[in-house]
Structure 1
Amino acid sequence: MLADDLVNLRDIMANKLYERDLQLWIEQTINHLKNGEFASLDIEHLIEELVDLGKSEKNALKSNLKILLGHLLKLQVQSDAPETMKASWYSSVLEHRQRVLDNLADTPSLRRFLPEAVEKAYGDGRKLAIKEGKLAKFGVRVPKERDYPINCPFSIEQILDEDFYGS
């Protein structure tokens, strides 16, 4: 009975620490792992954190793809925009493409998720491009919503190609 009570007490303390101070919980979990103290691990929360970490990586990829695709679309649809406007779109494409490439370099297994991520991010990127396109001023043509393709017009190779800018 005493052993069961100790296990229950350990679980209660781990739960309280997890809820009270996540950073300290992480530090203790790392120490338990380094020291081979597997019985001391808060397995339930450790699994939860690992699942969230995987989601976070995927969300970062989708977020950068959304902006990258939105600005590639703007460069394609609003190719007649003044160079001063397009300059910021080019900068955004460079920045967010590099973030995507960094994501993939840091976590190569995300390449398997890339087609799904592009599919999920494209709709939001399209909405972004449409909304930003409606903000055009100073005689710049405002594209119609139908000018923006419903399905992603770019291949994954184009999206990742550091010399591709939507046309």
Structure 2
Amino acid sequence: MSNKLYNSDLQLWIKQTIQQLQNREFTSLDIENLIEELISLGKSERNTLRSNLKILLAHLLKLKIQHNVPDSMKTSWYSSVVEHRQRVLDNLADTPSLKSFLIEAVEKAYPDARKLAIKESKLAKFGVR
């Protein structure tokens, strides 16, 4: 029944699984899907960190390379930098084990951030890749 419930109503499956765990009804658990959900949760945490780093790095790059833009645009980028920096700090505070993933996350986020900064700054039309 649990597998069918998992496929038809995820929220109800989660509620039921929590209840089974709280009641220590371990033999009733849908172990395969529980493992999948935990793996997915871990990936989601890493993806959130990487996404925030990508935006942070892209806007830092745009601030560094674009000089002749309106002040309002620069202000928007600064605001985004502050916001995404705080999100990264919050991610790391909420999940301290992500600190061990930080260097890898920056390495993975930087190429995408660079592409985004080039695309959004229109440098691609000048051959910058």
Q: Which residue of 2 aligns with 1:122?
A: 110
Name the count of aligned residue pairs. 128
Aligned mates of 1:144, 1:126 — CA distance in 2 = 14
2: CA distance, partners of 1:143 / 1:100? 32
What amino acid is aligned across from residue 129 of structure 1 in structure 2?
Answer: A
The verdict on how the C-alpha distance between 1:41 and 1:98 changes in structure 2, with shifts beyond 3 A counting, is same
TM normalised by structure 2 equals 0.93
- 1:29 to 2:7 alignment: no
Q: Deviations over 1:97-117 (max 9, x none)?
A: 111111111000000000000
Residue 45 (structure 2) pairs with residue 57 (structure 1) = yes
Runs of 4+ in structure 1 displaced over 4 angstroms? none
Name the CA distance, whole Å, in 1 between partners of 2:83 and 2:4.
41
User: Alpha carbon RMSD of aligned pairs, Å?
Assistant: 1.7
Structure-1 residue corresponding to 2:128: 145
Higher helix fraction: Structure 1 or Structure 2? 2
CA contact (8 A) 1:64 1:100 kept: yes
Q: Which of these two proteins has the greater Rg computed from alpha carbons?
A: 1
What is the identity, as a one-letter code, of the residue corresponding to 1:111? K
Structure 2, unmatched stretches of 5+, are none
- Residues 1:48 and 2:40 aligned together: no
Compared CA separation, residues 143 and 66, structure 1 to 2 (3 A): farther
Q: How does 1:150-161 map to 2 (within 5 A)?
A: none
Q: How does 1:80-159 map to 2 (within 5 A)?
A: 80-134=68-122, 145=128
What's the offset of the Cα at 1:78?
Answer: 1.4
Would you say 1:39 and 2:22 are equivalent positions? no
Q: Choose which of 69, 72, 75 in structure 1 pairs with 2:63.
A: 75
Query: Aligned partners of 2:79 and 2:93: how far apart in 1?
Result: 21
Q: Distance in 1 between matches of 2:16 and 2:61?
A: 47
Percentage of identical aligned residues? 73
CA gap 1:25/1:35 in 2 versus in 1, 3 angstroms: same
Unaligned ranges ≥5, structure 1: 1-12, 136-141, 147-167
User: What's the offset of the Cα at 1:80?
Assistant: 4.5
Structure 1 length as normaliser, TM-score?
0.72
**Partner amino acid for 2:62?**
K
